[in-house]
Amino acid sequence: MNAKPSLPIHARPKAPSRLKHGLTVVIILLLLWGSAVQTESTIGELVAGIPNMLDLLREMFPPKWSYINNITDAMLETIRMALVGTTLGALGAIPVALLCASNLTRSGWIYYPVRFLLNLVRTIPDLLLAALFVAIFGLGPLPGIFALAVFSMGLIAKLTYEALETIDHGPLEAMTSVGANPLQRISYAVIPQIQAHFASYVLYTFEINVRAAAILGLVGAGGIGHYYEVTLGFLEYDKTSVIIIFTLAIVLVIDYVSMKLREKLL
């Protein structure tokens, strides 16, 4: 009777040495020290600023709750801006994501330049976009909507094309074998695989846009941000605290509803 062949014994991975841990800590500390020196930030300045921070908090409380009647319309306008901007951005993100996905757009002469433009758009902060659109269209919610639409398009397209590159190619090959055209392949082989993820990305972007829309008013793009500028400019911190608490409540509600919807989708 032959003896059973022994199974290969896999060697356990070696734990990092103490020297490696020590060098990692030293490098992190050097990076922190270098960043603090270059930005002229010191612990002494932080400690010296604590009394001013406490004074500011004392002036913010108690909040002036009656001010909430003045900002309700502006908060609704902020939510509407985020809703319209996210919708426009999501619609624009669909063709951009399809052009960026290398498994759907085979030519590198197409998807590399489109990805470059997408990255270029994503490098521009939403506040700067709002300031640019204010210079073009003037004060009001319209520049804020356009800024949020561009920001949303960049974010949703980036997340969607990465998801598109992971889809199952079986349905695509089946549609191709029966002579389906590109539009039919996208409709019946791509969209069913990606629609839940796409909806989740749109909801996630809407959450971000509500927060972003709350400060776009600082550059004249409408919404609740205008009231931040006014109350801070007149040193009315009790009113500012009402705006912060109101914004926080709205964001928490939207976060909860969005999270539940995304749980249902995925």
Tell me which fold the domain 65-265 belongs to: MetI-like fold (1.10.3720)
Mean pLDDT, to the nearest integer, of 109-137? 89
- Give the pLDDT score at 235: 86
Q: Which of 1-5, 76-80, 90-94, 153-157 has the lowest mean pLDDT?
A: 1-5
The per-residue pLDDT for range 39-61, each reduced to its tens digit, is: 888 888 888 888 888 888 888 88
Domain with CATH 1.10.3720.10 in the chain: 65-265
- Give the pLDDT score at 47: 86
pTM for the full model?
0.78
The per-residue pLDDT for range 21-37, each reduced to its tens digit, is: 889 999 999 999 899 88
3-state DSSP of the chain: CCCCCCCCCCCCCCCCCHHHHHHHHHHHHHHHHHHHHHCCCCHHHHHHHHHHHHHHHHHHCCCCHHHHHHHHHHHHHHHHHHHHHHHHHHHHHHHHHHHHCCCCCCCHHHHHHHHHHHHHHHCCCHHHHHHHHHHHHCCCHHHHHHHHHHHHHHHHHHHHHHHHCCCCCHHHHHHHHCCCCHHHHHHHHHHHHHHHHHHHHHHHHHHHHHHHHHHHHHHCCCCCHHHHHHHHHCCCHHHHHHHHHHHHHHHHHHHHHHHHHHHHHC
- Give the pLDDT score at 106: 79
Confidence class of residue 18 from pLDDT cuts 50, 70 and 90? confident
Confidence class of residue 8 from pLDDT cuts 50, 70 and 90? low
- Give the pLDDT score at 159: 93
- Give the pLDDT score at 117: 92
- Give the pLDDT score at 1: 44
